[in-house]
Every structure is written in structure tokens, then in C-alpha cells.
Structure 1
């Protein structure tokens, strides 16, 4: 049974979501402020976290920053509808996905199952090597020039997807479907932000470029050097 931590100051909403999630087979805990939520997330008892951005005291963004300093637990943000700034900042800080509030509980379940599925090691035992990038799928380990990278589950899956098609341009639509688990919607910059985060964690090619190249209007390509 997967354990989900809800961090939201709306206790009535938490009770409603908890009831729905438990009926779907999840074990649920809740925290109603950012400080307590971050502490519970870092205790290691949660398999995934649902985090509201608008929290009293310590904001959800600050809680996310605190969580990401020590943990790669999957995090889904709840953001105000149309609030693109908080959404992008959250993704830049390492959130795996987001949903606008008020959220549909059925969609939240689908997003949770998607991030948990991406965070669970698959059966593949193969190792991928693309230039200085090494990926061991079964262990969910990625290395750059022999140094282990600290990647979120979304970043790992993004890198693995690009590596499996190294040298070929992968469209944003395909990346959204395979990595985020849902179709790319209009004006959705989630893929771009995750690529930007991944680029910061990767090294550089001999000519100083990032190994992930943008193909304008299409998508991204991992350079097979």
C-alpha cells in the first residue's frame, strides 16, 4: 500500500481527499502547515507528497525547497488555477508534477499513480551508455563521467527516455506522455522546466554545450558523442 502525505491547511479538503485516496487503496497522512509537512516528508514514511503552494507561515515553495535538500520523494504541487509563476518555480525547485486547485480527486489519483510508477524500479537490467552519461535502469541510477547524479524520479525518466533514443529528436508531446504520464496541453511548460533542471545537473560536452540539445519547435535530443 502506497503512503501519501497531504500538506494543505484546508483540513476539510484533506479529509475529503484522504477518504477518496483511501478508497483507492492508498494510506494517507496529513499535515496542515509547511514546517510540519516538510518534517513529515523528510521522515521517510511517505511514498509521495501532495503539497499545496499557498500555506500559512512557511510557504509550500519553501517546504519543497527544504524537502529537495534531503529527499527525492515524488512531489505533486497543488497550485492556484492559472498561477503559472508558482507552477514554474515549483517545477524548477524539483516538483514532479502539478495540479490546479480545486483539483479533481480522480485526476489526483491518476497523477499519483503515474509518479509512483515512474519512481518504482522496472524489470530492465540493461545499462545505457551515451557519451559521459551512464544509466542503470534497474537500480534507477544515473551517472555523469562516473559521478552519481541526484535526480528526481521525473528527471531520471526524462534522461532515460532521451538516452534510449540518443541522437534522435524526441518531441515534447512524446516526452509529456512517457515522462509525465499525460498529454501535453497548450502553454504547458513542464517538460521545458524539467529539461532545464536536468541540464543544470549534467556536465558539458567538450565544446561547452549541454548534451541535451533543443530542436526548436519540435523537442529535445540527447547528443550521442
Structure 2
């Protein structure tokens, strides 16, 4: 699920947008105070920020600048201030898009998806050049030699986690507690079984794996 931080002092509008975005599998955390919004970014991960400009205590353009100093998260400015200067300054300070109010919520959804697709492709291309395995975090798909892999939720979760920690040793305990599709009560043996299934989808010879290798006494290492 995509997770969005909305910094918006119109609480009624924020509630309407949050309910609408939920229909598209977009979870929204809404705050009206810009200082609280900056604090939220420090304490939990988000995929995107929707930022109003007219805020109490700090102008939205300054908030945009503060966010960009510490974070590369995508920012959509959503504002009733239709001055061209605000739009130009907002983009110069690091915003990815500017959506003037009022607007149809469907346009907001479309812009969110467009930005996340672009960011997802850029991250995938930068981090996975030359790799036979590629993760698209937006579509939740993993590609092997250009073809999508057909994975169960648990297989996807484990392989995605290994890709995010490529060339690192990952313990079975890490996988149990970090992959949502794995129950915390699962045994270490169940992780081995899932790894074996993934190997059969990747390896020419699963008994002599090239991609996912066992590290005795520690766990697994993925070499994409």
C-alpha cells in the first residue's frame, strides 16, 4: 500500500481526500501543523507528500524547502494560491508537481500514480543496472531476465527483501519479522522451504544456486 503524508490545514478537505485515496489503496496520514508534518517525516516512512502552501506558523514553500534538504521524497503542492510565482518557486524548491485547487480528486490520484511510477523506474534502473533481477516497487512485480516472476505473497516478500539488501547476509529471523506475508510464528524451516521454491524459479540448478546462496549459520545472501 502506498503511504502518503498530507500537510493540509483544511481538515474537512483532508478528510474527504483521505477517504477518496483509500479507495485506491493509498493510505493517508493527515496533519494540519507544518512542524508536525516535518516531525512525521523524521519518524516514519512515506512514499509521497501532498503539501498545502497556506499553513499556520510556516509558509508551505518553506516547508517544501525544509523537506527537500533532508529527503528525496516526491512532493505534490496542492494549493488555492494560483499565483504563477508560487508555482515556479515551489518547483524550484524541489516540488515534483503543482496542483491548483479546486481539482477533481481523480486528478490527484492520477498524478500520485504517475510520479510514483517514474520514481520507481528511476530507482529500479539506478540500483539494478546489469542485474538479471529487477524489482518494481510501484507495481509490486519482480522481473527475471525481463520476464515477470509468478510469486506467492510470501515468495515476493522474501525475494523483494533480499533484493533490497542485495549482497548482504540476511538471517531467517530478519525475513520472519520484516516480511508482512510471513507470520511471526513461522519456523525457520518454513523460510528454507520458501527459499527453495524461489530457487526453483530462478536457478538453472537449484542445488548449486548462483543467485541465492546459503551462508552457514547465518542465513542467505542474494547476488543479483
Q: What's the TM-score, normalizing by structure 2?
A: 0.54
- Is 1:109 matched up with 2:109? yes
Could you tell me which residue of structure 2 aligns to residue 23 of structure 1?
Answer: 23
- 1:2, 1:71 → 2: CA distance? 17
Greater fraction helix? 2
Gaps of 5+ in 2: 130-224
Could you tell me which residue of structure 2 aligns to residue 200 of structure 1?
Answer: none
Aligned positions of 1:109-148 closer than 5 A = 109-121=109-121, 137-139=125-127
- 1:74, 1:66 → 2: CA distance? 13
Partner of 1:28, secondary structure, is strand
- 1:140, 1:68 → 2: CA distance? 25
Aligned positions of 1:23-172 closer than 5 A = 23-80=23-80, 82-121=82-121, 137-139=125-127
- 2:51, 2:62 → 1: CA distance? 11
User: Higher Cα Rg: structure 1 or 2?
Assistant: 2
Gaps of 5+ in 1: 125-136, 142-225
Give the C-alpha shift of residue 102 in structure 1. 1.5
Of structures 1 and 2, the one scoring higher in RCO (CA 8 A, sep 6+) is 1
Q: What's the TM-score, normalizing by structure 1?
A: 0.54
- 1:110, 1:19 → 2: CA distance? 16
Give the direction of change, closer, same or farther, for the CA distance of 1:101–1:40 in structure 2 (3 Å limit).
same
- 1:72, 1:36 → 2: CA distance? 18
